[in-house]
Chain A
């Protein structure tokens, strides 16, 4: 017990010294540039990586320090990061959130602490607590894509739907958008609906299995590009060039595939625009106390087809 006690004393002394030291330092923190936190789900995904980079760089260009974090789609992590950032005195947080419902509490916490939250890409299910929700309109993207898909299919035929991760809000939004359109056609028959968890390898595997059971398919509609590319690879390996495959996101890989004549279409996410808007509106809010914009702003997705695929790169029009 004696040893424990001695160790405890050391801790207490160090903590006390450090607190005194920190107290002296705290002053300087408020003098420097204000800080904006930029939190996205995962930077391994080029979509989120680009978003964080563009938003963060824009904020720094506007004279802010940035703290860039990822929450890996874990609402608990997200909540903890919010609390840490708030206690560090950030001025605003730009967030691509970890769930429409599960994020509400974290945003409210920030609002109560006077920290502005600027949501990008995904919305939350409550209005009036974030300063802005710059939403990538996935539903609109899904319907525009589904309309095109149905026309490519000649309004009839058997198709497969590959859905995203079950726990992801956007997986459901996209699937609903697809079905709100496709289900209007009596002759469009969905022979299989499977999740491939946004993953290329999983989509490949799932597609191979489905092809065994249902060789008579004419189309595949996927919840994102990586799954579409996985399914496309499986179809090509099976010599099925005739099957129409469409994706979602507008990643460079998908655009390349469209240009090669493999994927038939995708919907482009407005990544760059949302990220820049978020940084600019955060800056305006910090300076003037208002964004001069409605809270919920819907940004449209663009349908990408062989006709216009060569005009896009890195989630934006080529310059």
Chain B
């Protein structure tokens, strides 16, 4: 009797278990093809290149062209000591008039200028073109990035156009990668078509942007400003 009872119990227990498993297998799971999920993930993942592609021609370049001020105006207004250094307070008024001050207290300028190329340096990947700016004789030396790289931390275009806001991104990495991607775009579209060494001695016209970092700095080094050129052309003499 006892054994039969135990048998009965065991059979009952097993069948209940099987029933639970069967029910949960039927209703407890949702099956989705892998491709569908990967597609969805790809669609949701942020891609800096796509983001920049979508607005480079249509919004970024026009914004810079429109807002660009004459670089010599900015340079002439700056109170720079003979050693090439300035004090932040002396720069704020100029930045408010001609540029943008970010929440990180960086001064961003969108500028345009003409000048003569006096030196070309392509020793490192961060090549530069030194330009003597028309209408300015002072301690600040102006260089344009010549490629093949522009520093990834230089976010002057992203921050200068003002419509690419930190708050629109998931995190600082996505936000930061947009700056890097814009700089790669400049290298590809603006710098690669030209041969920097050939520019030596030529008169050029350019439009672009640069950043003066003032945050947490006691004295601002203005011996050199480094401009990312979004348009660069050789001026025909005459």
Contact = CB atoms under 8 A, between A and B. Distances in A.
A202 interface: no
B153 A299 contact: no
Contacts of A293: 103
B172 A298 contact: yes
Interface stretch (A11-19, A177-185, A189-197, A234-242): A177-185
Chain A CB count within 10 A is highest, among B103, B106, B167, for B103
B163 interface: no
B149 interface: yes
A127 B176 CA distance: 17
Nearest to A144: B153
Q: Please classify how large the interface on chain B is, using the bins under 10, 10 to 19, 20 to 34, 35 or more.
A: 20 to 34
A173 interface: yes
14 contacts: A127-B167, A135-B172, A139-B172, A139-B176, A143-B151, A151-B124, A273-B215, A294-B103, A294-B165, A294-B166, A298-B103, A300-B105, A311-B219, A317-B217
Q: Which 7 A-B pairs have the closest CB atoms?
A: A139-B176, A297-B103, A143-B153, A144-B153, A300-B104, A296-B167, A143-B152
A176 B125 contact: no
A147 B179 CA distance: 14
Nearest to A173: B173
Helix, strand, loop or mixed for chain A's interface? mixed
B212 to A, nearest CB: 12
Interface string A127-148: 1000000010111100110110
Nearest to A172: B173
A127 B167 CA distance: 7
Given A298-B166, A302-B215, A100 B104 contact: no
B98 interface: no
Interface string B213-238: 10111110000000000000000000
A296 B106 CA distance: 16
Contact of A273 (B102, B152, B216): B216
A273 B106 CA distance: 14
Contact of A311 (B170, B177, B218): B218
B99 interface: no
A137 B104 contact: yes
Interface string A262-280: 0000001010010000000
B126 interface: yes
Given A123-B171, A173-B171, A294-B167, A155 B124 contact: yes
Contact of B216 (A139, A147, A151, A302): A302
B155 interface: yes
B180 interface: yes
Contacts of A317: 216-218
A308 B165 CA distance: 31
A139 B175 contact: yes
Contacts of B216: 268, 270, 273, 300, 302, 312, 316-317
Given A300-B213, A302-B215, 17 more contacts: A125-B170, A137-B172, A143-B176, A147-B152, A147-B153, A151-B126, A180-B180, A273-B215, A294-B167, A296-B165, A296-B167, A297-B166, A298-B175, A299-B103, A300-B104, A308-B217, A317-B217
Given A139-B176, A297-B166, A180 B213 contact: no
B125 A185 contact: yes
A180 B152 contact: yes
Nearest to B106: A300
Interface of A: 100, 123, 125, 127, 135, 137-140, 143-144, 146-147, 151, 155, 173, 176-177, 180-181, 184-185, 268, 270, 273, 293-300, 302, 308, 311-312, 316-318
A156 to B, nearest CB: 11
Contacts of A299: 103-105, 215
Contact of A298 (B104, B149, B170, B180): B104
B171 A177 contact: no
A279 to B, nearest CB: 16
B215 A298 contact: no
Nearest to B152: A143
B88 to A, nearest CB: 10
Nearest to A295: B167
B105 to A, nearest CB: 8
A298 B196 CA distance: 34
Contacts of B215: 270, 273, 299-300, 302
A232 to B, nearest CB: 24
Interface string B95-132: 00000001111100000000000000000111000000
Contact of B180 (A143, A295, A302): A143
A185 B126 CA distance: 12
Nearest to B184: A184
